[in-house]
Chains A and B, each alone.
Chain A
Amino acid sequence: MEQKHNIVKAVIEQRQKLQEERFFIDLSVVEVREHVSIVRKREWLGIALTDSVETIILPSVFDDITFLSNSDYAMVCIDGLWGIFNVNNGQWGVFPVCYKLTVHYDYATIELCTEEGNGLFFLKEDRMVVPPLYNDVTCWADGAYLWVRQGSCFHFVRKTDGLFVSLPDAIKAYDTSQGMFAMTPNRIVFCADDEGLDNTQLLRQVVRRGNGRARLYNYKEHNMDIIDIYGYVLNNL
């Protein structure tokens, strides 16, 4: 990843140098969005203030720039690699090292796909909440624990500090703010604690609050399971 980071950095510097030599070419505005605009100088794009195009926020060295609707972010591409740029503070949320970005507007997240794996950027917190190291990652980041998949097994990552909670038995995981809920190969849902051990008390508490039923969602797979106090899945039998 660091190698790729350095290559992109070098490309940016090289293009910047080239653009400086083209000082006589004026910037043209491509797209206006409130206080910032996408500007073009020859073949490359950048971001500048709408009121004063000379005030550059992001130099015109990028191949593609797309503003994300209802947010302060833009997806920026250079040499086939994508990054996330915060136009409000002028900082990179994610430097362009991803070969693909998938925006989940409903959950205010962006899935990052790099050569090393997939990660997750959370727009509400302006940070990467799951590093791009896994085969798959949830699209929902409002909970304290976020699921990831490595091979056929699901695990969780604690959002505050990135603690990896290994659950070698889990064949499915759920998106819930109530804890880490996952399913075993015999279709029984369990709740795990920070050490990956069974937290039956919490599962019982959650089910009891729902009068004997708990609805657990997996937003990525667009499905829901309803479980009872024993963790048995009652629907989709």
Chain B
Amino acid sequence: MQKLVTFAKARGIRLLNQELNDFLRTLSDIEHSMKQHYTFTLADKEILTGEAFRIYLNNMETYVDLLKAKMQDYIVVSVNGELPKSQYIHVPSDFLWQTGQPLVFGRGKKQQTIKNVVFQTPCAEHRFLDSWLEPNIAEYEVTDNLWPLYNMTHDMMDNHQIQRRFETLAREYTHQGLSVFTLYRVILSIENYWYGTET
């Protein structure tokens, strides 16, 4: 943690000397208060691995947070409202994320209609943590498949190693061109789907 504080100080950022867990808790708080960004219409192929967005379904109170895993695959980070739990959704290759688009979601394969699509973007804290974990993150291109990292994260969580090996795991993400912003969402999705807790 001391290294992180020194690193922050060198860049003119004042960081309290707290435990890494506290720092991650701060990150989690940021996530909850994070601003939603602009609405968009994008094709599946136009979205990069690790990008996150929220889709509002049927009425605006029901939403699903998604994370692009690979072409046509989207990890369900969390669901709200009466929607069933789901690990991921698979969309056709010509699928367009836009208002009015029908989407088959959940185990019941019920067709829903997208009411709105809103981007979620990382903030300064995520970028700061990324550059601390991997100062050369700029040199790493973004992977086209998140599933191997998802499985690695899942294994670590299963074996209760996530606390001890968090730094290694996070560094693995940055080496695949991904941010802790994505890692945080993968952890949430695993928690919500496999361990049944909704954060």
Contact = CB atoms under 8 A, between A and B. Distances in A.
Contacts of B46: 204-205, 208
Interface size class of A (residues with CB under 8 A): 10 to 19
Interface string A176-214: 000000000000000000000000100011011011110
Given A200-B38, A230-B122, A212 B11 contact: no
Contacts of B121: 230
A84 B37 CA distance: 50
Interface residues of B, number: 23
Interface of B: 11, 38, 40, 42, 46, 48-49, 51, 121-122, 127-128, 130-131, 135, 137-142, 144, 177
A212 B138 contact: no
Contacts of A211: 141-142, 144, 177
Contact of B137 (A204, A229, A234): A234
B32 to A, nearest CB: 19
Given A211-B141, A213-B141, A228-B142, 18 more contacts: A200-B40, A205-B46, A208-B46, A210-B141, A211-B177, A212-B142, A212-B177, A213-B142, A226-B139, A229-B48, A229-B142, A230-B121, A232-B122, A234-B127, A237-B11, A237-B127, A237-B128, A237-B135
A212 B127 CA distance: 15
Contact of B48 (A208, A226, A234, A237): A208
Question: Which A-B residue pairs are the 9 nearest by beta carbons?
Answer: A212-B142, A234-B138, A226-B138, A211-B141, A235-B138, A237-B131, A212-B177, A230-B121, A229-B48
